[in-house]
Amino acid sequence: MQEKVIILDFGSQYTQLIARRIRELNIYSEIHPWNKAPELDDSVKAIILSGSPHSVRDEKAPKPDLSAYRGKLPLLGVCFGAQYLAQSNGGEVLPSEIREYGRANLSFVDDQHPLVSGVNSGSQVWMSHGDTIKSAPANFKTICSTSDVEFAGYAIEGEETFGIQFHPEVYHSTDGAVLLKNFVVNIAGCKQDWTPMSFVEETVDALKTKLGSDKVILGLSGGVDSSVAAMLLHKAIGKNLHCIFVDNGLLRKNEFEEVLESYKDMGLNVKGVRAADRFYAELEGHTDPEKKRKAIGKVFIDVFDEESHLVSDAKWLGQGTIYPDVIESVSASGGPSATIKSHHNVGGLPDYMKLQVVEPLRLLFKDEVRRVGKALGIKQSILGRHPFPGPGLGIRILGDITPEKVRILQEVDHIWIQGLKKANLYDDVWQAGAILLPVQSVGVMGDERTYEQAVALRAVSSTDGMTADWCHLPYEFLARVSNEIINRVKGVNRVVYDISSKPPATIEWE
């Protein structure tokens, strides 16, 4: 069995970062709600308790029973986890005289202790708490402090249980990675053998066992997640994987043909379905963004359902669900975090399809999906593709959708994206797109007055899409692209560049 580190989540905004930092050490980690902890087996090598928006002094704060772990496995409490360990063992946790949010510096480090070996005195750490450990039990030994926090780190004598008041998982804690490696490698003894290729081998073997000779249907989008999921399933079951790629008429210029050809080059069994007219008919007259989304989703389900019935004896539905989707879908009653969104990676398929779901990527973060894709030999043109919304250009055309508006935006978007690629800027941008605005403006072309469409260009930098900054692209580049759009795209006479960040704006306009 694959070695793993279990992270018990108390609702911290940084919990996913803990898992990511552990995985960057080539050690597999899993996040579980504190009140739905998995049963232990020989694969579990260590436990980490996350931070929390709660105070340990709150009546409704989580109060986990740690008897299954204490003294049996290495255990590290972070922030709330450290305070809970102290308070539940007879220590005192009180409101901080000075609340610490942000940067602090270690003033003392016991560099002889294995948890903080290699952590420098004076190194920066990231604090985010309103309480502090005022006093600790006698067997709690301080191993690091700041000028304001005596128990910035401690060890419980006689067992491999530790508490850290700061957040080693954030990059602002300059020696945080050193501390985490000390815990999972030097103390817990994890082997660091979880690699993209090991994931591929284990996943393919598991899929072969699970699926046998069953047929699987997978909806492809041209994006990273569905493409990598398809290749894993293809390696496991070959031609028993039936992929469906639907042209909703809202893809980018030439995208249907190009992506379909790429998939065939990968050896996938893919059927391309042209259904633009059906989508346009359903969208006719709709201007509200949510109604447009629902119309697009409805037709996609209808088309996908019809095509899936043409595959006889299909038993499974493949999806490109990834780990953040799984974590974010945990309910408030079942875990510490509120439900952020429900995820249906092929359009929210209805129960009447009666297919079991198989999700080969449900344990991977987005960057890990890309690394697995690289190990599978998938082209960079797919792995490096910018995120593209499910409704496609349907939510980048403000107002009603018509084939002519789609044509205009496809041409504008093509010039924009190709321009970024030609200028070697594409990989510096997290997501880029063009928006067709529901306004017309006066212009002059060849001494004649024009009254044509305005378009907005958008390019943002981000790591996860939760926040985003607009990209400071060179003026000369923007001028060149603007000029090319106006000269080449009939119907457009004005180009603007969106310089709003998220928040307060969103990445997409609808």
List the catalytic residues: 79, 167, 169
How many secondary structure helices (H) and strands (E) does the chain include? 13, 18
Angle between helices 403-422 and 475-488 (to 10 degrees): 140
The two beta strands, 161-164 and 75-78, are parallel
8 A C-beta contact, residue 75 and residue 162: yes
CB-CB neighbours of 357 under 10 Å = 13
| Whole-Å CA distances, 36 to 6, 8, 9 | 12, 9, 10
Closest by CA position to 18, among listed 188, 173, 246, 199: 173
Residue 189 token pair: 């003894």
Residue 504, preceding peptide bond in cis (omega within 30° of 0): yes
Distance CA 507, CA 498 (A): 10
Closest by CA position to 223, among listed 344, 357, 360, 381: 381
The two beta strands, 356-358 and 314-318, are parallel
DSSP characters over 463-510: SSSSSBEE----HHHHHHHHHHHHHHSTTEEEEEE----BTTS-SS--
Question: What one-letter code names the amino acid at 34?
Answer: W
DSSP characters over 308-341: HTTSTTEEEEE----HHHHHHT--TTTSSS----
Q: CA angle 474-416-463, nearest 5°?
A: 70
Three-state secondary structure call for residue 186? helix
Residue 95 token pair: 């409101």
Q: Which H, E and C letters describe 396-414, residue by residue?
A: CECCCCCHHHHHHHHHHHH
DSSP characters over 4-31: EEEEEE-S-TTHHHHHHHHHHTT-EEEE
